[in-house]
Structure 1
Amino acid sequence: MDFAGLPTPDAAVLAGAVLVALALDRLFGEPPVRLHPVVAMGHFLGAVGRRVSRAAGAVPRPGAEFWLGALGWCVGAALVAALAFAAGWAMEELHPLAQVALLGVLLKPMLSWRMLRDEVRAVEAALAESLASGRQRVGWLVSRDVTALSESQVREAAVSTLAENLNDSVVAPIFWFAVAGLPGAALYRFANTADAMWGYRGERGGRDWTWAGKWAARVDDALSWLPARLTALLIALPAMGRGWSAVAANAGLTPSPNGGWPMGALAVGLGIRLGKPGVYQLNGQGRAPRATDTARALRRCGQVVAVLALLAGGVLALSLGGQL
């Protein structure tokens, strides 16, 4: 390929596309709902999910539910990967500058930092009005019962969501884009959306997902395994890795094999306690988070996004510099 007259490796196009996607996210946020590919994934998963799961209270059929769920997931994943591959293939003959721009536009919906940041800020703003407002707002972010949460527990839920979704919504999509291009990022986003909609033990929305959602949950665990640990490492970078053993110890306290890593890193790094009542408590010796800690958490996670942009910029510069 020729980039401004120079032969350019694919790494430069990928790195440039990451920078474009991050810039679009910063400037414009999410695309319109009617054009958002993740919304389309959700519609597909919602329609298929009603057919592969059983109604709450119905007789369980573990084997049938599991394999129907796996089949439904695989059909959706194949469609998403095929569409992403076709989009990439259609760009192959374009000038690399056009590839960078188009890939960046298509990658943007697969990642979302601005919306995550704004939603966490909105929880803190709601808490400043009243505890009831804070509970209502954090209920948009978490699936747990929020009616009895204290002020500090509302804040813990918001900051925990921030840490976990820094991986799910930013680091992991970029990681899989670097590994497998647009199909990698799209497939990860589909898997993560499927886990969010299907990956429950027991009942949700009048359906029982114990078996129907098991495949979706396990695939998301596998695809998130390495990115979650990279996210934790990036969160811990400002402390130069100090307390990594404490991060690792806290990560094992959550039911998720991955979520505890970024959450634990943020809790240890900020010296605060993060927990879910009756389920886990990370950095239990830390203090309850205050309003200023939400701002600190947002800054720390924003630094991770900045590091990713710097890394992409470095790859682009090295790739182009190697051709001079």
Structure 2
Amino acid sequence: MATIGRARAVAPVKDAALARFIAGMPKAEYHVHLEGTLEAEMKFALARRNGLQLPFADVAAMKASYRYHDLPSFLAIYYDGMKVLLREQDFYDLTYAYLAKAAAQNVIYTEMFFDPQEHLKRGVPMAAVIGGISRARRDARTRLGIRSQLILCFVRDLSAQSAMDALDTGLAFRKDLVGVGLDSDEAGNPPEKFRAHFAKARAHGLRVTAHCDVDQDDTLGHIRTALLDLKVDRIDHGGNIVESPELVALARQRGMFFTVCPTFSGTLRKGLATPVDVVRAMLDAGLNVTISSDDPAYMGSEYLDDVLIRAADRSALTRTEIVTLARNGFRAAWLPEAEKQAMLARLNAYVQRADHS
């Protein structure tokens, strides 16, 4: 989730040639919350279908309400928006809409987060949630050629028991899941709260990732726990790691991948006289950075191409560095090595064609 910000206009194009290169480049995305792709237009459509009344006159009024100053104020908007998701078809429509947008931007592979606790507590059965998502994933792969996998996230500011109940319920749909994650408000909810959940997930063959949002209380402690104690497979956000040479060295030694959302959590500020650009600092530190869009529907409807274009400008990225970010994306996939190599070959072929055009 984003830590600080408000809805923004679509990223400007300062280098048209670079923007075209980014748009045509095969890409992967990991840090995207399905519920965070719920555009205002779809909210109104689902509300009508489900007999709900929304407290907004129109789409413009709803989008104007997407204003927040910190993580809790963002989450209040984000979770309120989910209330229109009630039936399997709602989750199908939500997922297919994101996958269609991603495929149109040449995203060929994505691993998507979802927050089942928020739906279960409203009485929506897990079968409807995962059933709709999985059906959309299959249809999108057949019709659009985009491959995807699903990550069950624990909402860290709900109880540990609630998270375990969601995991136990989700394990009945193990074939539809690739991993578990950890999102939402970090205050008072350190990663170790979910040690037993991660252990059970691993025992069932699932991969593990965790949000370590920027500039949170004890951020470096959370990163340390994730790396050393929980031994996560990826870290989501994690920009504050650049403040600790020890943790940077450990992450490099482990080949850790970071799913960074630069438009929304791209600057370190807490306790610093001069803000630090996260992407620039992490790349300069030799870390494996991947780029994602986070919750695009609530953040100016900026999907992956827009985020990459903005990052190229703000972080002074070269085309070589953008290709490195894309390669990291495929290398980070929770897929067999042969399948990752096939996607990398597709990227390399694109770069070679662009170099000779």
TM-score calculated relative to the size of structure 2: 0.27
Per residue, is there more strand in 1 or in 2?
Answer: 2
Structure 1 or 2: more helix by fraction: 1
Normalised TM-score (structure 1): 0.29
